[in-house]
Amino acid sequence: MSNALSTVVIVVALLAVAFSAVTALRNRPMGWGDLAALGVLEVALIAQAVVGFVKLSGGGGPSETATFVGYLLAALVIPPAGAGWGVLERSRWGPGVIVVAGLAIAVMVVRMRQIWDGTGG
């Protein structure tokens, strides 16, 4: 797992959280900005998954490989799910869901880093 890349993913996720939080606080439904933020986040997550699998196949992965792969793949599903929800819920709660999704991804990436380094619970 690349530390630089995972830091980028966390930063992008938190930026998406901030952007959507502002949208929600302004009482607007999801707009193009929120969607673009989710798109950038998804691209970053795909890059992370690709790099993660390449590193795993090269050996030297974490002891809990299954858990790590689970996180890697589960994270990919979340931004599209958040976007779909934003389309369905045309109120401030659409971007609200994106806030939750971004926070979840940030936490997941931190956990993935711990698993990779073999630290933490």
Partner 1 sequence: MAERETGGGPGRLLVAVYGIFALAAGARAAVQIATKFDEAPLAYVLSAFAAVVYVLATAALAIGGRASRRVAVAACSVELAGVLAVGTLSLADPAAFPDATVWSGYGRGYGFVPLVLPVAGLVWLWRTARTDRGRVVRPDGDG
Q: In whole angstroms, how close is the CB of 23 to partner 1 at the nearest point?
A: 14
* Cα–Cα distances in angstroms (integers) from residue 35 to residues 22, 25, 26, 69, 83, in the given order: 14, 17, 16, 26, 7
85 Cβ contact partners less than 8 Å away, ≥ 6 residues apart? 94, 97, 98
Nearer to partner 1, 44 or 101 (CB): 101
Nearer to partner 1, 19 or 85 (CB): 85
Residues binding partner 1 (CB under 8 A): 64, 66-67, 70-71, 74, 77-78, 81-82, 85, 89, 91, 93-94, 96-97, 100-101, 104, 107, 121
Angle at 108 between CA 65 and CA 114, to 5 degrees: 55
Q: Count the neighbouring beta carbons within 10 Å of the beta carbon of residue 106.
A: 19
Q: In whole angstroms, how close is the CB of 71 to partner 1 at the nearest point?
A: 8
Q: In whole angstroms, how close is the CB of 96 to partner 1 at the nearest point?
A: 5
Per the listing, tokens 């979340």 go with 78
Nearer to partner 1, 51 or 89 (CB): 89
Nearer to partner 1, 4 or 29 (CB): 29
Q: In whole angstroms, how close is the CB of 85 to partner 1 at the nearest point?
A: 6
